[in-house]
Structure 1
C-alpha cells in the first residue's frame, strides 16, 4: 500500500510539471501521428484570425543536426509525429512508465509566445512472453518437512516494460493427489519470488519424486505464457527466507565521504540453523552502476559507506537495493530498498545549456539578415543544484544587436534587439554570462556564434548615371564599345548578375552585351545611317526575389570619310551650257552644286576648275561653287570651252569627284546700244516712247512680282507644312543657291536654311526649314533692302550661300542673322534661320571663315 501511494504521488508530480501529455504505442511506423498541439493548447483561439497563419511550432533541439530526435513537429499545423519506430524495451527500464519530454516553441512570426513541455508516453505492447531461465528445474523437500514448507523455484521474466504486459501471474498444474501448492511472494522491487509449498508431510518410502508444472502468464492482451517443468525430489532443504527488519530505509547524508561512519546498517535474520541461516549482503541488479561506484556495502555486517564524493551536476537522490542471501542450498534471499538523499553543502558555478530554434552546428547557428526585431533565436536553461543563495542565478547578455529575456526560474530566451545587415556585418560572437548569489559568487560563460545569412536585399548599383561611348563607323563586328560598371554586394545568386539591352523603339539594335557587362557590336556601323544610339541596359541578379536596375547608354558613331562627293548640278556628265554674255551685266554664270553623304569636315566641299581654263577666263568660288567670269569678256573670248570641274571633301584621305561642262559662249553688245540711246536724252525733257516703255515695264513688272510673290508664298507655306509633318532634311546634305544671267525672271530655286531643332544635336546644324527664293527681273537697285515675311534681306553682288556641313563659323550668340542675296535676284523672299544655340562646331576650318562670311553674312552676327 505504501509503495502504491509513493508511485502515485511520483506520477502526479510528473504530470503536473508538463503542459501536455500524449501516448503512442511502441512499434508504430515512422510519421505516426502523436497529437495535435495547436488544438490541445487552444493557442489559435487566443490569436486574432488574421494572425493565425503566422503561428509556427518548432521543436527545440540540441546538437548538430537533430538526427536523434524521436519526434517532429509540423511548423504550421502544430501536429506531433514520430520520426522512427519506437521500442519501449530499448528505451526504458523494466516495469516503469516509458516516456520522453519534448520541448516545443510556439511563435507568432518570429516572436515567441510560449515554450511547451510535452510528455509523450511510449505505451508498451505485449510483444514478449514470460520466460523462465530454464525449461526445467529441480527442487528437494525433506521428508521431515512440515506442512507449509516452501521451496523456491526460478521466476519468469517478461521483457516488456509496461506494467500490465510485464505483470506475471502463475498457475500450478499437477495431479490432484500431489501434495504441493504454488507460493508467490512479491518483493519490494516488484519482482515475484516463486516457491512450491508443501500441503502435507511427505513419505519418501511411498514416493520420492514428483513432476509438476508452473505456467507463467502475463496480463497483456492477448496474454502470453510459458511453462516450467519442476522435478521434485524428497530430501531435507533450506526452507526459511532471510527477513529484513524494514523493507524500506530512508536516510539523508552529507556529500562528505567517510570510512568510519556508515550511511546505514542493514539487519536481516534467518530462522534456519547452520549455514542455512548464515546471511551475506549484496547490491541487487536493480541498483544503478553510478550508485555502486559511490557506495560500498559490507557483505558481512550490512553497513553501507559513502566512499566517493558526488560531483556537481550529478543526481543527489539514489535508490540502493540490498539483497540478503543465506547459505542454504538452494540459498534463500530477500531485498530491502535504501533511499539516500545527498545534501550538497558546496557552492558550484551554474551550468548553462543553450538550444537553438534553427539547426546548429555545435555552438554555431545561422539566421537570416531580414529577421524581424524581437525574433526568438535560442532557449537558455541554467542549472545550479546548490542550496540557498548558492543556487540562485542571474544571467546577462551584453550586445547591441541581441538581448536576453527572462522566462522564469533559470530560463531565458535570446531575441533580436536591433535589425541586422549582412553587408555591414555578417558574424556575431555572443557570450551569455550567469552568476550565482553565493559568497563568493561563482559564474559561468557560454559562447556561441551567430552567422548572418544573406538575403537578396540590394539591387545592382551602377558607377554612373549614364554611360557614354564613342566608336568609329565601318569597324568589323564584335568590336568592343565599353563596359557597364555595376556592383552588387549580395552573396551567391543574389550577387550573380545578368545583363540585357533594352530599346524604346522597334529598331534593330546593333549591339550585344556579355555576361560581365561588355558591350560590343554585332555588325559594322554606318554613321550616315545612324550616328547616335540611345538605349538602356537592364541588370538583374539571380536572387529570390530578383533585384534589377536600369542605366542609360548613349553610343556615338564617329564619322569616317567613306563617301565621295558627287555633283547634283550638273546632274549629267558631260553637260552642255550655252551662255550669252551681255556687257555691263553680272559676271556670274551659274552655281555648281555637289553633295556628300558624310558629315562635318568629311562633308565640307571645295570646288575647283581642274582642266580647260587655259585662257583664265573663268573662275569658281572654292566654297560656294559660284562659276563666273574672272575678267572682262571680249568678242575674242566667244567660242566653245570644255571645262572639267572637281569637287573635294575635307576628310582624311580626301575624296573627290569630277564633271565636264561643254560651254558655248556668245558675246552680245545690246546693253551698250541701249545705254547709248538713253544717254542722249536731255535732262529737262522725257521722250514719249521712253515714257511708254517705262509704263509698260512697270505694269509688267508689277504683274510678274504679284504672281511670283504669291506663288512663292504658297509654295513656302506648303513646304513649311511638310517640314512640320516630320520631313526633316539631314544637316549633312548641301544645297546651293544658283544665279546666272541665263536664269531669268520667274525661276524659283530652293534654298535650305539650317535650324537645329533638337538640343542634343546642336553640334551639327540640321536643315529643318525650307524657304524659296523668287528670281524676278532687274528692277531693284544694288543695295536695296527688301522685307519678306518679316525677315530682313539685303542685295549683294555675289551668290552667298553654301549650307554648312562640317564647317563652322564659331558660336551662335542668339541674335538674328541677315542673309545677303546676289544682285542678279531682282525680287525674293527667304525665311531666316532660327537662332537656337549651336555649340561645339568644328574649329578646324576657321581659316575659311572669312571667305564664307564675306559671302552671306553681314553685320556683327556670329554662329
Structure 2
C-alpha cells in the first residue's frame, strides 16, 4: 500500500510541472466556468491514485482588497470568474490582456507543487472611437498659400485590443472642396491630424466650408464616429469697388433740388466687413467750379444739383467720382459722370449701340478679313419729345463704315471697305443724331472698332542681301551680325524663326539663333575659304505660316597666321657655285618665297642677314634677285655663307630664313684694280704742285661725270627692276622667251602674261608703282619686329647643290640649275662659255631668271 502511494506521488509530481492557459471574453457574467485543472492534468486517469479526496487545490491571494479577486478555484481544481471582467480596465492599451493565477496542490497536509495558470481576457469591440468635441471651428485666410495646415484633435478608442483600438481617418464629404486631411503618428503611436489647403481660396466665391472627419476602428464589425469641422475663410481686401459703368451720361434740367438726386452711383465691393464698405467722394480731377454746383452723398452715392448754372455757362459738366473701401490699405476706383444741363423742354436724343462682338459698351472687335457688307452693330435711337423735337435723323461719316436705316429710329452699322490691321488697327466712329427742334439738339455716340489680326503678311527682310566681314581663327560662337526681318502681324503670326539654308548642315561653320543672330560654330580659315554665300530662311509661326529668304555674303578677313617659306632654295643649307666673268650683268640667281596669306600679309621682302661682310652681294627686297653690288676682284674669290630672311608685311611680321653657301670663282680676265690704284697713288705723291692742281681739277670733273653717270645707271636699274629685272640669256634665240617670262606673283592672284614687251612694261610699272606706294624700301632691319620661323630640315646623307654659272658673253646671263647629290667634299660645277650652244631640250633642265613683276 505504501509502495503504491509513493509511485502515485512521483507520477503526480511529474504531472504538476505543466502550466495551463484558459480564455474568457470580457463582459462574461460572474461565475463563468473557465476549466478543470485536475481533468486537464489527467490526474484521475491513473489507477494508482485511490483516494482522490486527499488532493486539494487552492489559489494564492495577493491582497484582500475589495474586487481584487478575479477568479475562484475550487478544491477539486475547477476555475470560475469571480466578477465581470473588463479588459479595458484591467489591461494596458494595445497589448494582449491576461492574468496569471498561482494555484497550490496539496496531498493531505503535504505541499506538493505551485501551478501557474494564465487566463487570457479576450477584448471585444465594445467602444467606438470618440472625439473630444463633436464639432470644432477653424479659419483660413483668403490669401493663405497652398499647403497651409490647421491641426485638429484626434479620436480615442478605449478598447485595448490591437485591432479594436486601431483608428483610421478620412474625409466623409470630400466633394470638390479645396481641403485635404493629413494624418501622421507620433512616437507613442497616437495619430496627429491636420487639415491642409490644396487649392487657393476665394472668399468672394465661398466663405464657409463644412468638413466631416470620420474615425473608424479596426474591429469586426468596425465602429466609427464623425467630427464636424467648420472652416471659415477670413476676408482679405483684394477687391476694388466696381461701378456698374465706366461712364454715366445723364441729362437734367437746370433746376436745383436737394430732395431728388439727378443720379445715384453704386459701386459694389465683394469683400466683407470694413473691406467691403464703400464711401464716395469727388476726385481731385473734378474742377472746383463744377463741384460747387453739385453735392455728393458720401454714404449713398447720390448726386444732387444744389446750384443752378448761368444761362451762358457750358451745358456739359464732367464729374469724376471715386469709390473707396475701408480696408487696410484702402482700394478705390473712379467713374466719370457726364451731366448735360438743358435750359428748355426739348430733350436730347439717346443712342444705344449693340455690337456683334462687343468688348465693352463703347468698343467692339472685327477680324481684318471680315467681308465687305458684314453686320457690325445695331443702333437704336430714343427721343420721346413731341413733334419736331422728337423727329431724329442720324449720320455716320467714315471711310470704312456706313450707317443704314432699318426702321424709324433703328439703324445698322455695316463694313463699307476692307480693313487692314497692319495699316490701322482701330477706328474711332461717331454716330450723330439730331432732332428737328428749335434749337435742334444733337447727340453723338462714340465707339471704337478694334481690328483683330490675321496672319496675312509675309516676313520681310530689311534688305535682300546681307554682307558681313569677320576674321579667321576666332573661337566658336564668334559674333558675325544680325539678320533683320519684320512681320507686322501680331501674336504667333509676328513671331519669326530663322534658319540657314545649306546643303551641308552639320559641317557648316555658321549658326543662327531664333532672333536672327549669326555666329560661328567653329574657327574659320581664310586660306581654305574666304567667302561664304548662303541663304537665310525666315518663317512666322502663324497658321498658315509665311516665309522668305535672303542672301548672306560673309567675307573672312585674312590674319597673318602663315609664315613665308622659301621654294628656292628648297633645301637649307644650299650650295651654289658662281663663276664670274667681268663686264657682264651682275645678277646671280633669284630667291623665291611664298606665303599662303593674302594681300598685305603675303607681300614679301627679302634681306641679307649675315655673311655679306664685304658688301659684295645685294638682294632686291621685292623680287628676290641676288646680284653683285659692286665690281668683283680676284681678292673676292672664296666661299660665302649668306643667310637670307624673307618677311611678310602682316602684323605681327612673320619670316623665314635660309642659308646659301656660295663659292665664287673669277675669270682670269678679271683686272686687279686695287694694286694699280695703289701704284698710281704712290706715283702721284712724287709729282709737283702744279701737276697736283691739274690732277685735282681733272678728278673733280671726272667725279662729277661719274656721279651723273652713276645716277643715270641707278635710275635705269630701278626702271629695269620695275619692268622685270630679267637676266638675259646668252643665247640670242632665247631672248624673246626670257623677256616674256615673269616671276610668279607672291600673292594668290593669277598673273596674265602680256602679249608684247610694251604691254609687259606698262603692267609691271603699274604694279611696282602700286607696291612702292604701299611699302617703303627704306625700312631697316632694326625696324622689323618679327617672329622669325627658323626652318629646320631633316638631316640627310646627301646634300643637294645647285650649280650656277654666270657667263660673260652675250647680252644676258645664262644660269644653269642642276639638283645633284654629292658627298661632303664633292662639288659639281658647270662652266659655261659664250660659245656654248643650247638646245630646247637642254633649256628645260635649267631655271631661267624671269622678268620681275
Q: State the TM-score bracket (shorter-chain normalisation).
A: 0.3 to 0.5
Q: TM-score, normalised by structure 2?
A: 0.39
Q: TM-score, normalised by structure 1?
A: 0.39
